[in-house]
Amino acid sequence: MTTTHCPYCSLQCGMRLTREGRALTVEPWAEFPTNAGAMCRKGWTSTGLRGHRERLTTPLVRDRGEDGSRGELRPATWDEALDLVAGRLVDLRAEHGPDAVAVFGAGGLTNEKAYALGKLARVALGTSQIDYNGRWCMSSAASAGLRALGLDRGLPFPLADVEQADVLVLAGSNLAETAPPAARHLDRLRERGGRVVVVDPRRTPTADRADLHLAPVPGTDLALALGVLHLVMAAGAVDEAYVAERTTGFDAVRDEVAAWWPERVERVCGIAADEVRALADLLIATQRAGGRVLVLTARGVEQHSQGSDTVLAWINVALALGMPGRTGAGYGCLTGQGNGQGGREHGQKADQLPGYRSIEDPGARAHVAAVWGVDPDLLPGKGRSAYELLDALGRPATPTAPAGPRAMLVLGSNIVVSAPNALHVTERLRSLDLLVVADLVLSETAALADVVLPVTQWAEETGTMTNLEGRVVLRQRAITPPSGVRTDLEVITGLAERLKAPGTEAVTWSSDPEEVFAELGRASAGGVADYAGITYDRIRAEHGVFWPCPAPAADGTAHPGTPRLFAERFGHPDGRARFLVTSYRGAAEQPCEAYPLHLTTGRVLGQYQSGAQTRRIRELADTGPFVELHPLLARRLGTADGEVLTVRTRRGELRAPARVVDGIRPDTVFVPFHWVGANRLTNDALDPASRMPEFKVCAAAVSA
């Protein structure tokens, strides 16, 4: 029996795997505190890819003709594949410079892989062109958290603290479908007399658990938060002592929200002014009674061109009420991907080095370079963000922009399905001289590649993940991988050893995850996300360790880890949180005569992310995409449940059957993004701070 963790969302539910003959069975691990043995159907069926007929077990190479024509993928040996990749990368780097090569990672990679991938990019390749799909997950909340609180950790407290809130505001979260084991905390909160508020344009299973459900027009969540803060201030409910002692910048925010009276919010958001007042009154009454208010945001309000401002506005509400730093109160973000937190802490993000250090900080560069054994001047600077990187692929230089990368290495990301404006991104991928994809199945992105490298899946390898609480956990290998498959760490090491450049002779590479984690600890030491005091043995003994966890003291005393942040000070040097002004602009693309509706996207219970894994598991319902719409809209279109509709935007179209429900706004349609099609429709407008694309709203037309 092996204790490990689910391969999917950021809960990283603990589980046990038992092997009997060829069968691998999932069993509960009740002692792991985050889920206490509970799992969703995806967790219970997570071994379903073992032995799957579509599992890749040999490298594949696509031969190209002298005229650039592309042949079919054919089997190859590992040496042939790695030699080919390394040789082409060396040639491209020599001819066009190191930024001709790009690296694209994922929020599902272990901490060890994310760290090694960043090291591969900066040291072995010398490129600045690295980012990852986590940019599309939690970056708006991360940007806001860093600016307002001085630190980005999704939940600055253990998940179970949610139960202690007296009022919980879930802004843009469908927790009951995206992380079902966490929804029990909502039920327990209500059992002890607490109230749950859900802000979502759809009446989801999470909204069904709520005491108050507000359904704003997609893209207007910022206006709602501004209106709530307006009412808190108007009622004299600001915790003035807390604001004076623990924050800065309040006066400017007070002036900004003065104009957001409830009737103005109603005109912008489509939420009745009385409902806006009801939410504010609930928060005010709770604060005056000495109760605890907790605001949690998720992708519904974050995946917008004003996503980071929306998060800042909700943080302003929490700060004005004097909540952050109290147990069961304050602000947090519900991370999406399995390692959405750890994945951005250790170097696969364009602007970061291990330990959540800025790549533009000379001290950070010197520290990490010393761990790696290179001159800091050899490390490249900040690169393009995820979508900007994809948009630049294969492009020639212009008077205003350098040439885009001509080759890309992709680990753990199915870009063809998950990127916004996906048809455009697919064309950029096709324009590359070399596309290399490491995956366990022939995903839609791998099918475009010149080289496909078959890698292990979660139960066949060991490595750490950092869940939504900031708890570093250990996935442990339970079974032997199929013959011919290698770990991502082995792929990275194999390439690095073939790519050594001048000045990197002293750099060492390891494919042993525990060795890599120990090096990660040294590289992160002293950083915001300090893992130096965490070891595999500690994780096993303590069911995970919360960062920051610095190295042991001089007398050998181990740091206990940090389950709760902000009780005494925030992450800024002066210890104070920042109120920050946010100005409402609205969605980048508004409905018009040709595209009169709002389109929004999201997840469903039975599938996960791009579906590369879950769509291949027999026990999970693969329904395909659908178009959810209100009966009034269905009547206007002359359609009925089950009939095929065409959804069009300025970027593409999708045909899928209708699902007519009364739990969605009549001016809005919803499409899940687990299948090819949804992200062919979505807008690539970016948040100026986080560079998050506006997945959650664009203008659309629907026809029967």
CATH of the domain at 387: 3.40.50.740
Query: In this predicted structure, what is the pLDDT of residue 67?
Result: 77
Residue spans of beta strands (DSSP E) within 340-448? 352-353, 357-358, 407-411, 434-439
- Token pair 């600001």 is found at 238
Per the prediction, the chain carries an average pLDDT of 96
Q: Are 314 and 306 in contact (CB under 8 A)?
A: no
Residues 405 and 489 in one domain: yes
Residues 205 and 310 in one domain: yes
Residues 256 and 396 in one domain: no
H or E element, residue 285 = helix 273-288
Q: Are 212 and 195 in contact (CB under 8 A)?
A: yes
Q: What one-letter code names the amino acid at 363?
A: G
CATH of the domain at 629: 2.40.40.20
Residue 105 to residue 413: CA distance in whole angstroms: 7
66 occurs within a structural domain:
yes
Residues 295 and 171 in one domain: yes
Residues 329 and 351 in one domain: no
519 occurs within a structural domain:
no
Question: What is the extent of the structural domain holding 233?
Answer: 155-334
pLDDT band at 623 (very low <50, low <70, confident <90, very high): confident
Residue 155 to residue 328: CA distance in whole angstroms: 11
Contacts of 245 (CB under 8 A, 6+ apart): none
pLDDT band at 262 (very low <50, low <70, confident <90, very high): very high
102 occurs within a structural domain:
yes
Residues 100 and 238 in one domain: no
Residues 275 and 315 in one domain: yes
pLDDT band at 100 (very low <50, low <70, confident <90, very high): very high
Residues 76 and 9 in one domain: no
3-state secondary structure of 28: strand
Residues 129 and 191 in one domain: no
State pLDDT tens for residues 270-296.
999 999 999 999 999 999 999 999 999
Number of domains, the chain: 4
SS3 string, 593-637, reads CCCCEEEEEECCCCCCCCCCCHHHCCCCCCCCCCEEECHHHHHHH
Query: In this predicted structure, what is the pLDDT of residue 68?
Result: 75
Residue 630 to residue 422: CA distance in whole angstroms: 27
547 occurs within a structural domain:
no
Residues 272 and 358 in one domain: no
State pLDDT tens for residues 108-164.
999 999 999 999 999 999 999 999 999 998 899 999 999 999 999 999 999 999 999
Lay out the sheet containing 167-171: strands in order across: 212-214, 195-199, 167-171, 293-297, 330-333
427 occurs within a structural domain:
yes
Query: In this predicted structure, what is the pLDDT of residue 223?
Result: 98
pLDDT band at 22 (very low <50, low <70, confident <90, very high): confident
3-state secondary structure of 303: coil
257 occurs within a structural domain:
yes
CATH of the domain at 270: 3.40.228.10
Q: What are phi and psi of 354, to 5 degrees?
A: -55, 145
State pLDDT tens for residues 25-83.
999 999 999 999 999 999 999 999 888 999 999 999 999 877 778 899 999 999 999 99
Residue 536 to residue 526: CA distance in whole angstroms: 20
| Percent above pLDDT 90 for the chain | 95
Query: In this predicted structure, what is the pLDDT of residue 171?
Result: 98
pLDDT mean over 559-567: 97
541 occurs within a structural domain:
no
* Final residue of a structural domain among 273, 302, 334: 334
Q: Are 4 and 610 in contact (CB under 8 A)?
A: no
Residue 208 to residue 663: CA distance in whole angstroms: 10
* Final residue of a structural domain among 295, 312, 334: 334
State pLDDT tens for residues 426-444.
999 999 999 999 999 999 9
Q: Are 141 and 311 in contact (CB under 8 A)?
A: yes
Residue 559 to residues 510, 522, 545, 643, 680, Cα–Cα distance (Å): 27, 15, 10, 60, 48
pTM, full prediction: 0.96
Q: Are 90 and 375 in contact (CB under 8 A)?
A: no
Give Dmax over CA atoms of the chain in angstroms.
Answer: 76
Of the candidates 334, 7, 323, 319, which has an alpha carbon nearest to the alpha carbon of residue 140?
334
Of the candidates 106, 679, 611, 583, which has an alpha carbon nearest to the alpha carbon of residue 309?
583
Q: CB count, 10 Å around CB of 425?
A: 22
520 occurs within a structural domain:
no
Residues 645 and 679 in one domain: yes
Residue 407 to residue 431: CA distance in whole angstroms: 9
* Final residue of a structural domain among 334, 349, 368: 334
State pLDDT tens for residues 342-365.
999 999 999 999 999 999 999 999
pLDDT band at 552 (very low <50, low <70, confident <90, very high): very high
Q: CB count, 10 Å around CB of 177?
A: 17
Q: CB count, 10 Å around CB of 351?
A: 17
Query: Looking at beta carbons, which pairs linking 477-484 to residues 24 or more positions away fall under 8 Å?
Result: 477/2, 478/2, 478/4, 478/17, 478/19, 478/24, 479/17, 479/19, 479/24, 479/50, 481/456, 481/457, 482/55, 482/57, 483/57, 484/57, 484/58, 484/454
Residues 193 and 264 in one domain: yes
Query: Residue 696 above 90 pLDDT?
Result: yes
Residue 531 to residue 202: CA distance in whole angstroms: 39
